[in-house]
Amino acid sequence: MKYDWVLFDADETLFKFDAFKGMQLMFERMGVEYSRDDFEQYQKVNKPLWVDYQNGTITAEDIKHIRFKGYAEQFNTTTAALNTAFLDAMADICSMIPQARELLDALKGKAKLGIITNGFTELQQVRLAKMGLSDMFDHVIISEQVGVAKPDVGIFTHAMEQMGQPCKSKVLMVGDNLHSDVLGGMNFGIDTCWLNAAQQPECQEITPSYTVKCLSELQSLLLA
């Protein structure tokens, strides 16, 4: 095993993140029908916020407030209440990416495992507990708690401090996002693996150490 540490992104790397189904469930619990068109309008607000968050121009709290501001006014509630209801719904519909559990089980005991996520704190521990993974990871690094988000090298620096400063050549970052996961890891000086399940086009400026289409391919690569 080449690596002493394997660090994973969470959403769409280990866990499926179907935000539309989460929004549907949240509104269903409120007695409101929620359509795909409604979601597309929401995404016009939500998606740019995550870009701004990764760029360090807004905070996690800003996302929570701004993305639900219109709905809070419409349904006479608060953005905080809607954010919590959404994350509760996302936890309830949580499932794992194909081959993720098999990969984690195969790596356990051969390398230390960690998560570095830009997702929100409220969702992480609940989701790990629901999936029976609470004891699988040595560290779960959450951008909301650290104060900086991937691809900022600050979150990788924080992770390495928590990990006891292992040699960078012994650390691999795995993620589905070419910008936040791969570029972030590259800029920090660690090997990276791009999980390109959607078969997105490659970017000449960002060159991961490895590219795989599925996690079983990564398992074969690491444990060959």
* Catalytic residue set: 9
CB 115 within 8 A of CB 8: yes
Q: Which amino acid is at 85?
A: A
CB 205 within 8 A of CB 179: no
The three state secondary structure string of 22-73 is HHHHHHHHCCCCCCHHHHHHHHHHHHHHHHHHHCCCCCHHHHHHHCCHHHHH
CB 222 within 8 A of CB 107: yes
CB 55 within 8 A of CB 149: no
The closest alpha carbon to 68, from 85, 52, 51, belongs to: 85
| Complete edge-to-edge strand list for the sheet that includes strand 210-212 | 139-142, 112-117, 5-8, 171-175, 191-195, 210-212
CB 4 within 8 A of CB 112: yes
